[in-house]
Amino acid sequence: MIEILFKTLPFFAIIGLGYWAGKTRFFSEEATAYLTKFVFYFALSAMLFRFSANLSLAEVWDTRLVSAYLWGTAFVYGIATAVAFFRGLDVQTTAVEAQCAVIGNTGFLGVPMLTLLIGPQAIGPVVLALAVDLVVFSSLIVVLITGAREGRMSLRILRTVAVGLVKNPMIVAISAGLIWSGLEIPLPGPLNDFLDILGGAATPGALFAIGASLASKSAERMSIAIWLSFCKLVLHPLFVFFACVFIFGVDTFSTGVIVAAAALPVAGNVYILAQHYGVAPQRVSAAILISTAASILTVSAVIAWLAQP
């Protein structure tokens, strides 16, 4: 455990460095926004495209793994939803809390960290987890909030969700990479080197951006944030593990990777959505702060378990 902790500490140290830069205003909120945009649209997209282009869909797709991750995530989503309704929250706030309980920082933290620590063979399960998060649950929160405000479902809502998916650079990069792979076109040397260099900026850039963005968030509504962090860091990986092992019979390696992905802290894009819709952004920011700090131990524990022979 200590050895794995030391291996994960550099990743969280970069997050800490970014937090310091943001807190001291060495990095302004505007600078953080531009760094995040660079990582999101360029560096991380290059990394995902390069990984996907060197894998076939058959290597990536695993029906049992997707089913297990979807089942475990949906179960925890249901728990968070039930607790929120029991507390008398409306549909919009409930949707935001449920999102905090299951959507981890897979893109900015999971992809670069897990592929470096576990190896390139981890990219398949991590990409599947990211795809489920983006396509299913990130669409669900838009449907629930917009539907609750309009009082009904409409084609306009579904159109908004579809456009959002098509415009998401991570989905575009993964899809384009798999299509390239499916056409069996080898990546030319200069293009591969270009993607390698640009994608190499994803890991430090994403980690630094996470820290800098955390510096602008406030830790309010602590009891709720602790509950949501518990859902994300403990319940989510626990139920994904249960689904993988006892329901769908996923192989040991893929189970470990997908459980590590489930153990990641609350994603920053949940805060962006909460702020965009004006629904409980303070409790989301608190959940991101707490879960990110606690994940130094929880993620290390899961990876240590994965590393056992």
Q: How many CA atoms lie within 13 A of 153 on its CB side?
A: 5
Pick the CATH number of 2-307 from 3.60.21.10, 1.20.200.10, 1.20.1530.20, 1.20.1070.10: 1.20.1530.20
Task: Give this prediction's pTM.
Answer: 0.85
pLDDT of the chain, 309 residues: tens digit per residue? 566 667 778 888 888 999 999 989 999 989 988 998 898 889 888 988 888 888 777 677 899 999 999 999 999 999 999 999 999 999 999 999 999 999 998 888 888 888 878 877 888 898 889 889 988 888 888 888 888 776 666 666 677 777 777 777 888 888 888 888 888 888 888 998 999 999 888 888 888 988 888 887 666 668 898 999 999 999 999 999 999 999 999 999 899 999 999 999 998 888 878 877 888 888 888 898 899 888 888 888 887 777 665
- Both structure tokens of 115: 């592929």
